Structure formats: structure tokens, C-alpha cells
Amino acid sequence: MKNSKHQKPFLLYTIIIILALVILALGGLTLYSFQDLASLRSKVTDLQNTVQEISDTSAELISKAKELGSLNDQLESQMILKQIPPLILHRMYRKKGLFLLPILLSLPLTKV
């Protein structure tokens, strides 16, 4: 019986040590996965910053495109008015009034 008593604590200690090692291994895996999670979080933050920069840049480009379109329209209307001699334009306005303005604006553009 003495032999049996000495074996039982040895078996229990072995099982306890194995379980402790398994718990430590699981803790190590958890820390390793948290490290990956932190890395992913930093990558997501970088991507969010990049998307925000792209969004700001696109909004700026859209506003500049609208401004450029407005300037282009102004330039086209000025080119139409330069094609008609001022004296003829003055006579047409005096004779017909402002009713010719839509006709003048619809004249085709030619490069000067």
C-alpha cells in the first residue's frame, strides 16, 4: 500500500504541471493574438486617415472643377461678345431691345 500512496501524489503533480503548462500556453497564444489585433488596429487607423485625405482632396477637386466650369462659361460668353463688332451690337440693342440677347448667347463659338 505504501507504493500506491507514493504514486498517487506523483500522478496528481504531473497532471497539475501539465495543466499549468497548457494554461500558460493558452495565455501566450492570447497575448500573441492581441499583438496581431493591435497591429490590425494601427493599419485600420492608417487606412481611415488615407480615406479621409482622399475624401478631402476629392471635395477640393470638385469645388475647383465647378469654379473652372464657371470661369469657362464666362470665357465663352466673352468670346461670343468679342466676335460681334461693338457698333453692330449697339445698333441691334437699340433697334430690337434686349430680345436679341438669347440669340446672341446661342451663337456658335469659333476659336480666335
Calpha distance 52→84 (Å, rounded) = 49
pLDDT(26) > 80: yes
Calpha distance 96→101 (Å, rounded) = 10
Q: By CB neighbour count within 10 A (0-12 exposed, 13-18 middle, 19+ buried), where does 3 fall?
A: exposed
pLDDT tens-digit readout, 57-71: 999 999 999 998 888
| Average pLDDT for 33-53 | 91
Calpha distance 101→108 (Å, rounded) = 14
Instruction: Write down the pLDDT at residue 38.
Output: 86
- Quick check: 70 and 78 in contact, CB under 8 A? no
Instruction: Write down the pLDDT at residue 106.
Output: 55
pLDDT band with cut points at 50, 70 and 90 for residue 108: low
| Average pLDDT for 72-87 | 69
